[in-house]
Chain A
Amino acid sequence: GAVVSQHPSRVICKSGTSVKIECRSLDFQATTMFWYRQFPKKSLMLMATSNEGSKATYEQGVEKDKFLINHASLTLSTLTVTSAHPEDSSFYICSATTGTGNQPQHFGDGTRLSIL
């Protein structure tokens, strides 16, 4: 149980392209989803928290207009990297939780984004 699917697993595209990453909870309803970014040899850095039906809450230093998050349903959240540039190349991971009490977050397998 508690499977989170993230798609695509890898994206390579040209600078200036917008890229959409999907995160789906397959067997539970995720009231809260999180988006992380992992830099090489660094820990996972939380980018934003999204609750179904409301605007995402972004961490300090994360550009809202750059990283658009939509959480339209209890099983789907999307992260769109708009007008991506090489410095946006990274490993992006989503997680989902039912949000009740101390429930572990369940992670997708991540998306390796490479901007040429």
Chain B
Amino acid sequence: DQQVKQNSPSLSVQEGRISILNCDYTNSMFDYFLWYKKYPAEGPTFLISISSIKDKNEDGRFTVFLNKSAKHLSLHIVPSQPGDSAVYFCAALGGATNKLIFGTGTLLAVQP
């Protein structure tokens, strides 16, 4: 039972354009969400997070939007750069547990 889903396994975007990565979850107990970026043969790197009491969090080129009613969050990268090419995982925390539940990841390719 996949509680955190990233339905797009891959995404290709032109340099300078916006990248939008989507994530859906099923467990209403999740109250904290995180995005991680992962290069091959490396561990995930924390990017940005959002608490369920907010609907938006921005950090430089990265913005995360949360729609609780739809159980959906998205990561926007503007402008996209070739160095952003990586696998992006969304993850969720909550339900009185500190266990991160990861999505399956989306491979982002930013074309120069």
Q: Contact residues of A with B, CB < 8 Å?
A: 4, 6, 9, 32, 34, 41-46, 49, 93-95, 97, 99, 102, 104-110, 112
Q: Is B49 an interface residue (CB 8 A)?
A: yes
Query: From DSSP, what is the main secondary structure of chain A's interface residues?
Result: strand
Per CB-CB distance, the 10 closest pairs between chain A and chain B, nearest first, are A107-B43, A43-B102, A104-B46, A43-B104, A102-B32, A44-B102, A109-B43, A107-B44, A109-B42, A108-B43
Q: How far is the CA of A42 from the CA of B38 in the complex (A)?
A: 13
* Pairs A–B under 8 Å by Cβ, sample size 23: A6-B43, A9-B41, A32-B98, A34-B99, A41-B9, A42-B104, A43-B4, A44-B44, A46-B100, A49-B98, A49-B99, A93-B43, A94-B43, A102-B93, A104-B34, A104-B49, A105-B100, A106-B46, A107-B43, A108-B43, A109-B42, A110-B41, A110-B42
